[in-house]
Amino acid sequence: MASLETAMSRLFSRHWLASARRFIHWLSRPHVILSLIMFVLMYYMIIIPLYRMLETTLTWQMRDVATVPGAELGGLTLYHYARMVTGALSEIYLYTPLRHSLTIATGATVLALAIGGSLAWLVVRTDMPGRNMVNQLAVIPYIMPSWTLAQAWVVFFKNRLSGGTPGVFEYLFGQSPPDWLAYGPVPIIICSALHYYTFFFLFVSAALMSIDSSLEESGELMGASRWRILRKITFPLVLPAILSGFIMTFSKVMGTFGGPNILGAPVRYYVVSTMIRGSIGVGDRADGFVLALVLILLSLLIITFNQRLIGTRKSYETIGGRGFVAQVTKLRQWRKVFFVGVIIFQALVIIVPIGLLVWSSLMLQDGNYSLSNLSLQHWIGERGTIYNHGEPGVLLNPKIYKTAWNSIRLSLWTALFTALFGVLLGYAIVKGRGTRLSKLVEQLAFLPYVIPGIAFGAVYIAMFVKPLGPLPALYGTFSLLVLVSIADKIPYSSRSGVSAMMQVGRELEEAAQIAGASIWRRFKGIILPLTSAGFVSGFLLTFISVMRELSLIILLVTPDTQVLASQTMFYIENGDQQMANIVILILIALVSFGSFIISRFRGGSLKKGLGM
Amino acid sequence: MATSITVKNLTKYFGDVKAVNDVSLTIESGSFLTLLGPSGCGKTTLLRCIAGLEDPDGGEIYIGDKLIFSHTRGISLPSAKRELGLVFQNYALWPHMKVEKNITFALEIQKLSKEEMQRRVKETLAEVQMQGYEERYPREMSGGQQQRIALARMLAYRPKVFLMDEPLSNLDARLRMDMRAELKRLHHSSDATTIYVTHDQVEALTMSTRIAVMKDGILQQLDTPDVVYHYPANLFVADFIGNPKVNLLNGVVIGDKCVRVGSFNLNVDTGNASGEVVVALRPEDATISTQPDPDAVEFNVYSVLPSGSETTIVASRDNVEITVKEAGVSKIKMDDKIWLKFHPHALNLYDKESGDLIPYKN
pLDDT per residue as tens digits for the range A432-482: 888 889 999 998 998 888 788 888 888 888 777 777 777 788 888 899 999
pLDDT reported for residue A322 = 42
- Residue to mutate among B47, B67, B79, B165, with most A CBs inside 10 A, is B79
**For residue A499, pLDDT beyond 60:** yes
pLDDT score, position A195: 94
Quick: pLDDT tens for A585-603.
999 999 888 888 777 764 4
Cβ <8 Å between A21 and B110 = no
From residue A391, give the alpha-carbon distance in Å to each of A164, A174, A351, A388, A559: 22, 32, 29, 5, 15
Using CA coordinates, name the residue in chain B closest to A531: B96
Indicate whether A524 belongs to any domain. Answer: no
How would residue A332 be classed by pLDDT, with cut points 50, 70 and 90? confident
Q: Which residues of A touch B75 (CB under 8 A)?
A: 21
pLDDT of residue A446: 87
Share of chain A above pLDDT 90, in %: 34
Residue B251: strand, helix, or coil = strand
Question: What is the share, in percent, of chain A residues with pLDDT greater than 70?
Answer: 92
pLDDT higher at A126 or B122? B122
**pLDDT band at B202; cut points 50, 70, 90:** very high
Query: Looking at the partner chain, which of B74, B84, B109 has a beta carbon nearest the beta carbon of A25?
Result: B74
- What pLDDT was estimated at residue A323? 42
Q: With an 8 Å Cβ cutoff, are A22 and B90 in contact? A: no
A104 and A76 together in one domain: no
Q: Is A143 on the interface with B (CB under 8 A)?
A: no
- pLDDT, residue A611, reads 39
For residue A475, give the amino acid letter: Y
**CATH number of the domain within which A342 lies:** 1.10.3720.10
Which of residues B216 and A577 earns the better pLDDT score?
B216
To the nearest whole angstrom, how far is the Cα of A343 from the nearest Cα of chain B?
43
Record: contact A22-B72, CB cut-off 8 A: no
Q: Are residues A180 and A292 in the same domain?
A: yes
The string of DSSP codes covering B268-294 is: ---TT--EEEEEEE-GGGEEEESS--T
pLDDT band at A42; cut points 50, 70, 90 = very high
In this structure, is residue A320 part of a structural domain? Answer: yes
- pLDDT for B232 beyond 70: yes
At B315 the three-state DSSP class reads: strand
Interface check A181 vs B, CB under 8 A? no
pLDDT band at B148 (very low <50, low <70, confident <90, very high): very high
Residues of B in contact with A515 (CB under 8 A): 80, 85, 105-106, 109, 153, 157
pLDDT tens digit sequence for B234-261? 999 999 998 889 999 999 999 888 999 9
CA-to-CA separations, B278 to B127, B283, B324, in angstroms, rounded: 48, 16, 17
Nearest CA in chain A to B92: A508
- Given a cut of 60, whether residue A379 has pLDDT beyond it is yes
Q: Which of A299-308, A568-577, B46-55 has the lowest mean pLDDT?
A: A299-308
Mean pLDDT of B34-42: 95
CATH number of the domain located at residue range(s) B247-358 in this protein: 2.40.50.140
- Tell me the H-state helices in chain B: 43-51, 99-109, 114-127, 143-156, 173-190, 201-207, 225-230, 235-240
Predicted confidence at residue A5, as pLDDT, reads 65
**What is residue A485's DSSP assignment?**
H
Q: Which chain B positions have a beta carbon within 8 Å of A521's beta carbon?
A: 109
Shortest distance between the Cα of B231 and any Cα of chain A, in A, equals: 37
Q: Which of B53, B84, B109 sits opposite A510 (nearest CB)?
A: B53
The pLDDT of A161-179, averaged and rounded, is 83
pLDDT tens per residue, range B157-183: 899 999 999 999 888 888 888 889 989
Which secondary-structure segment (H or E) carries A487? helix A478-504
Q: Which residue has the higher pLDDT, A455 or B203?
A: B203
Residue B198: what are its φ and ψ, rounded to 5°? -155, 160
Residues A260 and A345 both lie in one domain: yes
Nearest residue on chain B to A513, alpha-carbon basis: B80
* Whether A69 and A138 share a structural domain: no
Q: What is the mean pLDDT of residues B88-116?
A: 93
- Where do the DSSP E strands lie in B53-95? 58-63, 66-70, 75-76, 84-87
Q: How many residues does chain B have?
A: 362
Examine residue A517 and state whether it is found in any structural domain, yes or no. Answer: no
Q: Which chain A residues are Cβ-neighbours of B52 within 8 angstroms?
A: 514
Q: How confident is the model at residue A36 (pLDDT cuts 50, 70, 90)?
A: very high
pLDDT exceeds cutoff 50 at A609: no
A329: DSSP letter: B
Q: What residues of chain B lie within 8 A of the CB of A18, using their CB?
A: 71-74
The CB density around residue B248, as the number of other CB atoms within 10 Å, is: 14
Distance CA B345, CA B322 (A): 18
Residue A240 lies in a domain: yes
- State whether A130 and A62 are in the same domain: no
Q: Is the pLDDT of residue A319 over 70?
A: no
pLDDT score for A285: 85
pLDDT at A316 over 80: no
pLDDT band at A7 (very low <50, low <70, confident <90, very high): low
ipTM value of the model? 0.84
* Residue among B75, B76, B157 whose CB faces A515 most closely: B157
What are the residue boundaries of the structural domains of chain B, listed by start?
5-240, 247-358
pLDDT at A12: 63
Tell me which H or E stretch contains A598.
Answer: helix A577-600
- How many CA atoms, within 13 angstroms, populate the side-chain half-sphere of residue B47? 30
CA distance A20 to chain B (A): 8
The tens digit of pLDDT for each residue in A237-270 reads: 788 888 888 888 888 898 899 999 999 988 999 9
CB contact under 8 A, B74 and A517: no
B17 reaches A (C-beta below 8 A): no
Chain B nearest-CA distance from A540, in A, is: 23
A145-170: average pLDDT? 86
> Is any Cβ of chain B less than 8 angstroms from the Cβ of A589?
no
pLDDT tens, residue by residue, A184-233: 999 999 999 999 998 899 888 888 887 766 767 777 777 777 778 777 77
Interface test with A, best of B16, B44, B53, B102 (most A CBs within 10 A): B53
Which segment of A186-200, A325-339, B120-134, B304-318 scores lowest on mean pLDDT? A325-339
Which of A7-11, B17-21, B122-126, B328-332 is predicted least confidently?
A7-11
Tell me: do A68 and A124 sit in the same domain: no
Same domain flag for A181 and A72: no
CB distance A510–B94 less than 8 Å? Answer: no
Please check whether residues A132 and A219 belong to one and the same domain: yes
Is the domain of A84 the same as that of A98?
Answer: no
The pLDDT, as a whole number, for residue A241 is 82
Residue B114: predicted pLDDT:
94
For an interface test with B, give the residue of A17, A514, A527 to mutate (most B CBs within 10 A): A514
Report pLDDT for A260: 94
Element (H, E) at B14: strand B5-14
Is the pLDDT confidence value at A311 over 60? no
Q: Is A486 domain-assigned?
A: yes
- What integer pLDDT is reported at residue A315 of this predicted model? 39
Flag whether residue B94 sits within 8 Å of chain A, measured between CB atoms: yes
Give yes or no for B254 touching A (CB within 8 A).
no
A329: domain range?
A: 90-377+398-408+432-491+546-609
In a domain, A232, yes or no: yes
Highest average pLDDT, of A229-238, A269-278, A362-371, B182-191, comes from A269-278
Q: Average pLDDT, stretch B181-194?
A: 90
* Boundary residue ending a domain (A41, A66, A88): A88
How far separated are the first and last CA of chain A, in Å rounded?
68
- Tell whether A128 and A60 lie within a shared domain: no
Residues A220 and A177 in one domain: yes
Check pLDDT > 70 for residue A1. Answer: no
Q: How far is CA A6 from CA A2, A13, A327, B304, in A?
A: 6, 10, 84, 75
Residue-averaged pLDDT of chain A: 85
What is the largest distance, in Å, between two alpha-carbon atoms of chain A? 110
DSSP B138: G
- The DSSP bridge partners found for residue A60 are none
CATH code for the part of the protein at B5-240: 3.40.50.300
Question: Are the C-beta atoms of residues A74 and A60 closer than 8 Å to each other?
Answer: yes
Residues A62 and A155 in one domain: no
